[in-house]
Amino acid sequence: MNQKIKIFITDDHPIVRDGLISILETQEDFVIVGQASNGNEALSKLKNIESDILICDLEMPEKDGLSLIQELQKIKPSIRIIVFTVFDTDKRIITAIKSGSKGYLLKGASHQEIFNAIRVAYKGESILQPVIASKLIQHLNSDKDELSPREFEVLQEMAKGNKNKEIASTLFISERTVKFHISSIFSKLAVKNRTEAVLIATKKGII
């Protein structure tokens, strides 16, 4: 008999945990090894339970999902983590993935999407629900949207080769404010100087 995938579920809503267990138990290669209602309880139990997969919510009392993911990466990095949540904001998705999550599913995902995510994560690979992948791609391609209207104006003036004093005069702001905006632009575009900022912005179609 093939080895079963051991799954631990963490969610502060009993009805969600019960629903997931009922769904997952229909699969012959899955076995539920435990459950918890918050991050602290999950950490305590997982120290004494062998689990291949952790399915966890992000918003929980006492210790949230992101904190749980980060701590598990330190003490049990072999556990593959799949976020199962209602939150679909770019920041939460990226933070969860950077913290070590192998998958990100929205509550409302189909049974097959959940089954597939578990099997893919078990192999050590990453998987994102299509709607989540789309949001992530949009975020990665949204440098123009990340710049404030004023930063965009400053960037346009930089592209013309104008110095801080000239930019300040054109936009009717102080040189100090210009320097502040330029620093922010450098940070958002991940560049170190004006030339790089203009080159990157041009390549990405921001200006």
* Tens-digit pLDDT string for the chain (207 aa): 478 999 999 999 999 999 999 999 999 999 999 999 999 999 999 999 999 999 999 999 888 899 999 999 899 999 999 999 998 776 788 788 888 888 899 998 999 999 999 999 999 888 877 767 666 656 555 544 578 889 989 999 999 999 999 999 999 999 999 999 999 899 888 888 998 888 888 877 777
How many CB atoms are closer than 10 A to CB 8? 22
All CATH 1.10.10.10 domain ranges of the chain, comma separated, are 143-203
E-strand ranges in the chain read 5-10, 30-36, 53-56, 80-85, 103-106, 127-128
Contact yes or no for 73/66 (Cβ under 8 A): no
In the chain, which residues fall in CATH 3.40.50.2300?
Answer: 5-140
DSSP tag of 25: T
Please tell me the CATH code under which domain 5-140 is placed. Answer: 3.40.50.2300
Fold type of domain 143-203: Arc Repressor Mutant, subunit A (1.10.10)
Count the neighbouring beta carbons within 10 Å of the beta carbon of residue 99.
Answer: 18
